[in-house]
């Protein structure tokens, strides 16, 4: 779209010619049958995949927190045993 | 709320209803699609010159609009906002398509196909084609450089400055292209009306 031949002249609005009103007939064309059904299915599919993506992100966070908690538990238990051993 | 009462509501009210509707209730958005689909479809078809992809492009425009409804602030009309989504989507499609596959009509080997095209046109009785078929043929034979600004102006009714912004070109370039596009359209349209074949070579 960068054709320099079109950049040189400045044209007054009144010199721009008559609008092509015939183009309006193009909007008389109707979409194929089931047009909205296909849109609806696409929207539902994307909603679902977005939900799944959010769920799996939440799942990853939960698992990570559980792991951290388990790790701290193990460390604490080991430290507690060590303290008890030292007392004996 | 029944479908009949929805049909009578203006776009901005339907947008509000679509935004606040429970996720399963698509009726307000469906009315918006019904109302604007013909124009969006025509635009996608003629901006991209891709009749086989026009339906998919138009659907994707509406899907984008649906997920973008939350961000629509109502500062412009819904139709104007939808128009922007459509233009961006179609121009992106054109860029991707041309990046992947650009056919030069003057490339070796293309003469044969061009010859077949003329022959096919000659065999048909062009005078019997209805107006839309004529317009379609004329638009398909015009270069992107002239066709796209013409459609944005005379089909979409965009202001010259908006077209300049969309296409990232100067205002005077837009005006000059529209002037030339109208002249070329008229010439080719009349030529088809007289039953003369179109010169398939793209005009710059």
Predicted confidence (pLDDT) at residue A86 exceeds the cutoff of 60: yes
Q: What is the pTM of this model?
A: 0.70
B100-108 — which CB contacts under 8 Å span 24+ positions? B105/B200, B105/B201, B105/B202, B106/B201
- Between chains, do A43 and B66 touch, taking CB under 8 Å as contact? yes
Predicted confidence (pLDDT) at residue B115 exceeds the cutoff of 80: no
Domain membership flag for residue A71: yes
* Residue A77 structural domain: 18-87
| Cross-chain CB nearest to A6 (options B26, B62, B173) | B173
> Helix, strand, coil: what percent of chain A each, to 5?
75, 0, 25
Backbone phi, then psi, for B67, in 5-degree steps?
A: -75, -15
Tens of pLDDT along A7-61? 445 556 667 888 888 888 888 778 888 999 999 999 999 988 877 777 677 777 7
Domain membership flag for residue A13: no
- Between chains, do B150 and A13 touch, taking CB under 8 Å as contact? no
Domain membership flag for residue A9: no
Domain membership flag for residue A61: yes
Residues B62-83, mean pLDDT to the nearest whole number: 91
Write the DSSP assignment of B42-57 as a string of letters: HHHHHHHT-HHHHHHH
Question: Residue written as tokens 């202001």?
Answer: B159
- Domains annotated on chain B, with CATH: 3-100 (1.10.1740.10), 129-193 (1.10.10.10)
Say which DSSP state B157 is in.
Answer: -
Q: Which of B:88-127 have CB within 8 Å of A?
A: none
Tell me, what's the pLDDT at A59? Answer: 73
Domain membership flag for residue A68: yes
Total domains, chain A = 1
Tell me, what's the pLDDT at B151? Answer: 94
Q: Which of B:137-156 have CB within 8 Å of A?
A: 144-145, 148, 150-151, 153-155
The ipTM value here is 0.71
Domain membership flag for residue A3: no
Of B131, B147, B133, B128, nearest to B185 (Cα)? B147
Tell me, what's the pLDDT at B8? Answer: 87
Tens of pLDDT along B156-166? 889 999 999 98
Tell me, what's the pLDDT at A87? Answer: 66
């Amino acid at each position: 779209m960068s054709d320099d031949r079109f950049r040189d002249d400045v044209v007054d609005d009144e010199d721009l010619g008559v609008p092509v009103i015939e183009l309006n007939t193009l909007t008389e064309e109707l979409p194929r049958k089931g047009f909205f059904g296909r849109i609806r299915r696409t929207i539902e599919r994307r909603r679902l995949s977005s939900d799944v993506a959010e769920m799996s992100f939440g799942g990853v966070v939960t698992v990570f927190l559980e792991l951290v908690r388990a790790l701290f538990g193990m460390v604490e238990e080991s430290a507690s045993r060590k303290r008890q051993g030292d007392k004996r | 709320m029944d479908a009949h009462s929805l049909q009578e509501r203006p776009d901005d009210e339907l947008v509000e209803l679509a935004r606040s509707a429970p996720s399963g209730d698509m009726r307000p958005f469906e009315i918006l699609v019904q109302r604007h689909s013909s124009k969006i479809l025509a635009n996608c078809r003629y901006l991209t010159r891709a009749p086989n992809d026009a339906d998919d492009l138009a659907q994707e425009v509406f899907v984008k609009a649906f997920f973008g409804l939350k961000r629509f602030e109502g500062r412009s009309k819904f139709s104007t906002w939808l128009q922007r989504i459509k233009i961006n989507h179609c121009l992106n499609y054109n860029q991707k398509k041309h990046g992947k596959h650009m056919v030069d009509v003057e490339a070796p080997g293309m003469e044969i196909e061009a010859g077949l095209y003329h022959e096919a046109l000659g065999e048909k009785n062009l005078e019997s084609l209805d107006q839309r078929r004529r317009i379609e043929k004329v638009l398909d034979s015009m270069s992107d450089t002239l066709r796209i600004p013409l459609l944005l102006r005379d089909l979409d009714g965009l202001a010259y400055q908006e077209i300049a912004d969309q296409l990232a070109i100067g205002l005077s370039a837009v005006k000059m292209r529209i002037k030339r596009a109208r002249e070329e359209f008229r010439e080719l349209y009349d030529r088809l009306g007289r039953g003369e074949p179109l010169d398939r070579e793209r005009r710059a």
